[in-house]
Chains A and B, each alone.
Chain A
Amino acid sequence: MKKPVKSEEELGWKDIEVGCTVSDAGNAAQYRTGDWRSTRPVWDHTRCVKCGVCYIFCPDSAIRKNEEGYFEADLFYCKGCGICAQECITACIKMVEEVEE
């Protein structure tokens, strides 16, 4: 049985496995990288041709296809690198400044 997973804020030193081993494969998915972001990609659907170039180039696999066939960023992981906007064939992706709310 898998141990209940603690968030990185909850983990104490006694929770660290011997040698910092990760026995729960794929648990990097719990690691939020979205808070590194200073700009976020925004798609202009009037120009998007749903080609998926943004999806292919995203280095963090943080872009997914929605039900309408458009692509969007998973903001839990998107670091705001802007590669999608750089590579977009129709230049429909704009990087927009994140603002504190």
Chain B
Amino acid sequence: MPKRIGIENSIAAADAVAMANVDVVAAYPITPQTHIVEHLAELVADGELDAEFIPVESEHSAMSVCCGSSAMGARTFTCTSAQGLALMNEIVFIAASLRLPIVMILANRSLSGPLSIWNDHTDVMSVRDCGWIQVFADNGQELFDHVLYAFRVAEDPAVSMPVMINIDGFIVTHVIEAIEYWEKEQVARYLPAFKPVNALNPDAPITMGAFGIPNIFSETKKAQDEALLASKPVIMKAWDELAKVTGRSYKPVETYKLEGAETAFLTMGSFGETASIAVDRLRSQGKAVGQIRLRLWRPFPFDELREAVKGVKKLVVIDRAISYGGPGGPVASEIRAALYQETHQPAIANFLAGFAGRDVTPEDFITMYEKTEELAAAGAPIRQEDYLFYGVRE
């Protein structure tokens, strides 16, 4: 039986990367990702992990090194946050186009400015359309498990695509949790050796990264989009197998106390944990409230989302990022789009909250719930541009 260990989530995540027997780690330190990378550097320096740790001079170089090592057929990991992601942006898109199965943890942090080191989702939303598989873990245990299935999914020959694991910086990365480590035998059973679809080899030369002329570019984009869509059954199978190995199950759209719920919170990331407490309190007061958590952000789980909201009359969507001068929260925007032609259309109230580490407590969720009920009772439709900055001072 695996034991539960009280440990900082970042250290556990790094241990999961080591248990995946990674070959190359290339990263540049940036808060709040630092502890993950530092621990991996220690494991390599102490001879506990037989891998190349490449301390690069920037994140642009980190992702470039990752592309190179993955192209050589090495199991490759990196980790960054906010400004680091912005600096590696160019190569993030290229890694997806080259279909290189790199695994990256993005310790979510607010993209400057003003300069901030604290958590929100403005960094991940800046690369929403980069073509990576993008998932959200809500707590330390999920992060540990996500690392191991991420390698399995990324490297599956039917996928061969990079995976980005989002985890809320500080709020989850720097917290000590009781985490159930996998046994070595479980990892061996679950994660096969990496056999790349394409690898650079002087004996069998190929070209990676050739230019795409206008006559062929649309075909390459269609092929990339189809490949990302086709990753979903592989992700689902990886989650099924993970349940068999660990007893923990994951779904593209997670629900909590949704049965009979008239109103539901919809969140991504660690908000989900806090919202659950609010749901419990509201339920104990006899309120018909439930919860939906989006785990899979790309490929977007249209079917599961539509199924989840079927009986729900009001959705309280809380975003940790903003699309300035546009639809408000990026999550709410996608939810509205996904439900646009459905017969059943819940009213959607969109709150922007928890920017740059501002605490959002269960009481805040209850306040957002009450505000949503108030808006719905007023009768007028809640439009997309009616998003609200929660708790902002005048």
Contacts and interface: CB of A to CB of B under 8 A. Distances in A.
B160 A18 contact: yes
Contacts of A9: 215
Given A20-B220, A22-B208, A23-B198, 10 more contacts: A13-B219, A13-B220, A13-B222, A13-B223, A18-B99, A19-B198, A20-B208, A22-B210, A23-B206, A25-B206
A20 B97 contact: yes
26 contacts: A8-B213, A8-B216, A9-B215, A11-B216, A12-B219, A13-B220, A13-B223, A13-B226, A14-B223, A16-B216, A18-B160, A18-B198, A18-B227, A19-B99, A19-B197, A19-B208, A20-B97, A20-B208, A20-B212, A20-B220, A21-B206, A22-B206, A22-B208, A23-B198, A23-B207, A31-B213
Nearest to A14: B223
A16 B213 contact: no
Contacts of A31: 213
Contact of A16 (B98, B215, B223): B223
B210 A19 contact: no
A21 B216 contact: no
A17 to B, nearest CB: 8
A100 interface: no
A76 B222 CA distance: 29
Interface in A17-37: 17-23, 25, 28, 31
Interface residues of A, number: 18
Contact of A15 (B209, B219, B227): B219
**A interface secondary structure, majority:** loop
Interface string B181-212: 00000000000000001100000011111101
B95 to A, nearest CB: 10
A60 to B, nearest CB: 15
Contacts of B218: 13
A11 B99 contact: no
B220 A16 contact: yes
Contacts of A11: 216, 219
Interface in B155-180: 160
Contacts of B160: 18-19
Contacts of B135: none
B228 interface: no
The 3 closest A-B pairs by CB, nearest first: A19-B99, A22-B207, A13-B222
Nearest to B96: A19
Interface in A26-69: 28, 31
Interface of A: 8-9, 11-23, 25, 28, 31
Contact of A21 (B208, B213, B219, B226): B208
Contacts of B206: 21-23, 25
Given A19-B98, A19-B100, A25 B205 contact: yes
A13 B227 CA distance: 11
A18 B197 contact: yes
A20 B215 contact: no
Contacts of A16: 216, 219-220, 223
Interface in B75-100: 97-100
B207 A25 contact: yes
A26 to B, nearest CB: 9
A18 B226 CA distance: 11
Contacts of A25: 205-207
B30 to A, nearest CB: 28
B3 to A, nearest CB: 40
A30 to B, nearest CB: 11
Nearest to A20: B220
Nearest to A19: B99
A12 B218 CA distance: 9
Interface string B333-375: 0000000000000000000000000000000000000000000
Contacts of B213: 8, 31
Contacts of A17: 198
Nearest to B205: A25
B64 to A, nearest CB: 16
Contacts of B212: 20
A19 to B, nearest CB: 4
Contacts of B219: 11-13, 15-16
Contacts of B210: 20, 22, 28
